[in-house]
Amino acid sequence: MGWFQTEIRLAPRRRGFHLITTEIEAALRGMPEFRVGLLHVFIQHTSASLSINENADPDVPRDLEMAFHAIAPEDLPYVHTCEGPDDMPAHVKCSMIGAALTIPITDGRLRLGTWQGIYLCEHREQGGPRRIVLTAQGES
């Protein structure tokens, strides 16, 4: 059994759902080639989240953003408003979607489905750079 851990820093992105699969895979190039294992992906923020969803149709991230904006709009009577009107809705969305993913590894590759990609779900208009910790455990 072996372990590998690294951290990546994503460039700031506008609010929305952004595919980051290639950035995750690039960060794993130094990882031992596990025959079988698991990758844990964790975002160190409370106003952005991670999701696995369809990676082929550009309408999917647009529709996801529209739906989550409707579920947690900025005009609700939030009490926590000191960081701006998009902050508390961002926390709500992060709580709904989650801060971590677990993905199987086989023969050194992520076992995502044909139409699956890893998304950074940026819930702030200007969220800034985001830190993601990648931890893999597996058997060579």
Predicted TM-score (pTM) of this structure: 0.96
Confidence of residue 56 (pLDDT cuts 50, 70, 90): very high
At 8, the pLDDT band (50, 70, 90 cuts) reads: very high
Beta-strand ranges (E) seen in the chain are 2-10, 14-19, 36-43, 48-54, 100-106, 109-110, 116-126, 130-139
Q: What is the rounded distance in angstroms from the CA atom of residue 46 to the CA atom of residue 93? A: 9
**CA dihedral sign, ordered 89, 128, 97, 68:** positive
How much is the pLDDT for 72? Answer: 98
Query: Residue 1's pLDDT is what?
Result: 86
Q: Is the pLDDT assigned to residue 11 strictly greater than 90?
A: yes
Given this model, what pLDDT does residue 41 score?
98
The span from the CA of 119 to the CA of 11, in Å, is 14
Question: Model confidence over 66-124: pLDDT tens digits?
Answer: 999 999 999 999 999 999 999 999 999 999 999 999 999 999 999 999 999 999 999 99
User: Which one of 3.60.9.10, 3.40.190.80, 2.60.120.460, 3.20.20.60 gives the CATH number of domain 2-139?
Assistant: 2.60.120.460
Interval 17-36: pLDDT, tens: 999 999 999 999 989 999 99
Return the domain boundaries, the chain. Answer: 2-139
Q: Which two tokens stand for residue 5?
A: 């851990």
